[in-house]
């Protein structure tokens, strides 16, 4: 029997293999060197990410390569998303270090868990099979549950981790159930196989739609869209700020990949069924997220509700791809969603980055009041935060504007003018609480006048992050084209 065994082509999975090897190596370094290895572990983790980026760039062919019998896909879409994931994870590591060191949390476990979560995301992004999706998802989620509970003496963090774990497990269950239904209807778990089976039109419609409902619910859970959003504020609030930063950045990209793989790559013939589901969730997320954010005094909770509304906006783009039974707008619509997600991650990194910058030992910046008078303490970082807030509110010249603009454009193109008007109306509501942050930073006198301490790498990266928000806001075309081409090469 062994003679029939053909070893799989490992080349498309080199980055994942490299990451796993390095993670094991870092584990060994920590075991051998103990507490002395802190700086080394951090440096090695960053180097691992750079190595992965180099490998991804080197192995990128621009074509669709599959391996492990179609379970693993390496295409332009996956390459671009992975690069973005490396970038945001690297930013998370840099932003978090000072905070973790001040609180004695900068153990090797933190870096390892982040790396394993990254591996999970990469697997999700490259998934060609429902089981690969699930495998990646669980690897990522389990690592994040542990990360949230890292500060084990904090009752709030453990509670948040528990809540996240239980709801996350429920969502995984829903997803699995949906996958099994799809299997029942189509006889395959391979994403491409499902697509072909659906195109043949021989699958049982009722079973399919039944399965689809569970798939969409599971996705919505992971994304934090209304009505599956309950965990988001609690986890954002309860987790230590670096973990919140992490949750709000790279995993969102992975969740986007999951939606793309499951709904677009796998079940686009059912778009007429899943689009209305997403539309309802998108509209509800925009409404609930923006309204609830107004009432928050804790800035992490405010960001959580703002994240819900942003996810709603992003989902809106998905509801416009197939129109009148034709996938005419698909590429434009999914490009808009992709760009929106990238813009959101960029803004989220900057927003939480500022919170981490201002926190120091024994003092967490958590409440809106803590941002008071930032302009007097540091005009530059106040400007970065202001740009982030205006960007989130969708005011031009910042990256959030063209992200919202392209989504609105695709909504109007699909004759969803009423949704566009509604989304715009709630952007006005959203503008209020973003403006309030600007007000606190600029119009009020500071409560706290301690000088801001941060390492030079964090200062540089955070400044670049702020500049990127402005530059991509003024010149969105290159990044948009990058997203568009990656999708065009992988989708059709």
Query: Contact positions toward another protein, by CB under 8 A?
Result: 375, 379, 390, 395-397, 401-402, 405-406, 408-409, 412-413, 417, 420-421, 424-425, 427-428, 431-432, 435, 438-439, 442-443, 476-477, 480-481, 484
For another protein, give the closer residue by CB, 69 or 297. Answer: 297
Shortest distance, position 376 Cβ to another protein, whole Å: 8
For another protein, give the closer residue by CB, 18 or 397. Answer: 397
Shortest distance, position 309 Cβ to another protein, whole Å: 15
For another protein, give the closer residue by CB, 360 or 484. Answer: 484
Start-to-end CA distance of the chain, whole Å, equals 38
Shortest distance, position 282 Cβ to another protein, whole Å: 17
For another protein, give the closer residue by CB, 193 or 476. Answer: 476
For another protein, give the closer residue by CB, 162 or 429. Answer: 429
Distance CA 69, CA 128 (A): 9
Helix axes 250-259, 330-358, angle to 10 degrees: 160
Q: Return the SS3 of 296.
A: coil
For another protein, give the closer residue by CB, 62 or 379. Answer: 379
User: In 36-129, which residue ranges form alpha helices assigned H by DSSP?
Assistant: 38-59, 76-102, 108-125
Shortest distance, position 407 Cβ to another protein, whole Å: 11
For another protein, give the closer residue by CB, 301 or 404. Answer: 404
For another protein, give the closer residue by CB, 113 or 416. Answer: 416
Shortest distance, position 403 Cβ to another protein, whole Å: 12
> Element (H or E) spanning 174, and its range?
helix 155-186
Count, in order, helices (H) and strands (E) of the chain.
Answer: 20, 2
Shortest distance, position 434 Cβ to another protein, whole Å: 10
Shortest distance, position 373 Cβ to another protein, whole Å: 11
Shortest distance, position 439 Cβ to another protein, whole Å: 6
Q: Return the SS3 of 184.
A: helix
Name the token pair of 252: 């969102």
Task: Convert 121-135 to b/e letters by CB count within 10 Å (16 or more is b).
Answer: bbbbbbbbbbebbbb
For another protein, give the closer residue by CB, 299 or 408. Answer: 408
Q: Return the SS3 of 67.
A: strand
Shortest distance, position 78 Cβ to another protein, whole Å: 22
Distance CA 304, CA 284 (A): 15
Contact criterion met (CB below 8 Å) for 489 and 76: yes
**Dihedrals φ, ψ of 323, to 5°?**
-135, 130
Rounded to whole angstroms, what are the CA distances from 330 to 260, 336, 377, 414, 484?
11, 10, 47, 10, 11
Torsion of CA 249, 255, 260, 262, to 10 degrees: 170
**Dihedrals φ, ψ of 295, to 5°?**
-80, -5
């Amino acid at each position: 029997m062994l003679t029939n065994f053909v070893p799989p082509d490992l080349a498309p999975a080199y980055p994942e293999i490299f990451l796993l090897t390095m993670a094991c190596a870092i584990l060994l370094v920590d075991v051998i060197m103990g507490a002395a290895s802190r700086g080394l572990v951090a440096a090695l983790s960053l180097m691992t990410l750079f190595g992965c980026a180099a490998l991804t760039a080197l192995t990128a062919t621009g074509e669709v390569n599959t391996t492990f019998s179609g379970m693993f896909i390496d295409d332009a879409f996956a390459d671009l998303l992975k690069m973005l994931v490396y970038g945001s994870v690297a930013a998370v590591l840099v932003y978090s270090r000072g905070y973790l060191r001040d609180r004695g949390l900068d153990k090797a476990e933190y870096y390892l868990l982040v790396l394993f979560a990254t591996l999970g995301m990469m697997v999700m992004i490259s998934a060609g099979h429902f089981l690969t999706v699930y495998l990646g998802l669980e690897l990522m989620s389990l690592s994040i549950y542990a990360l949230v509970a890292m500060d084990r003496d904090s009752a709030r963090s453990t509670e948040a981790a528990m809540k996240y774990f239980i709801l996350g497990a429920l969502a995984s269950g829903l997803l699995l159930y949906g996958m099994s239904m799809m299997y029942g209807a189509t006889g395959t778990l391979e994403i491409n196989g499902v697509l072909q089976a659906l195109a043949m039109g021989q699958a049982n419609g009722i079973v399919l739609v039944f399965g689809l409902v569970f798939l969409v619910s599971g996705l919505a859970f992971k994304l934090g869209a209304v009505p599956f959003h309950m965990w988001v504020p609690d986890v954002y609030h309860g987790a230590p700020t670096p973990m919140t930063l992490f949750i709000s950045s790279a995993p969102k990209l992975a969740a986007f990949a999951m939606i793309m793989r499951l709904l677009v790559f796998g079940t686009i013939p059912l778009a007429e069924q899943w689009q209305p589901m997403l539309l309802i969730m998108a509209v509800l997320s925009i409404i609930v997220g923006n309204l609830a954010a107004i009432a928050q005094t804790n800035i992490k909770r405010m960001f959580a509700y703002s994240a819900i509304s942003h996810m709603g906006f992003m989902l809106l783009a998905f509801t416009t791809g197939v129109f009148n039974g034709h996938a005419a707008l698909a590429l434009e619509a999914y490009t808009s969603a992709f760009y929106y997600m990238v813009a959101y991650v960029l803004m989220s990194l900057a927003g939480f980055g500022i919170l981490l910058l201002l926190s120091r030992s024994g003092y967490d910046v958590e409440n809106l009041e803590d941002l008071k008078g930032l302009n007097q303490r540091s005009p530059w970082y106040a400007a970065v935060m202001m740009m982030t807030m205006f960007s989130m509110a969708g005011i031009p010249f910042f990256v959030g504007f063209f992200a919202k603009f392209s989504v609105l454009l695709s909504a109007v193109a699909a004759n969803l003018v009423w949704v566009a008007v509604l989304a715009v109306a709630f952007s006005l509501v959203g503008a209020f609480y973003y403006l309030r942050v600007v007000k606190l930073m600029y119009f009020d006198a500071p409560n706290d006048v301690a000088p801001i301490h941060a390492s030079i790498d964090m200062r540089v990266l955070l400044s670049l992050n702020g500049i990127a928000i402005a530059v991509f806001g003024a010149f969105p075309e290159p990044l948009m084209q990058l997203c568009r081409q990656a999708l065009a090469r992988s989708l059709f």
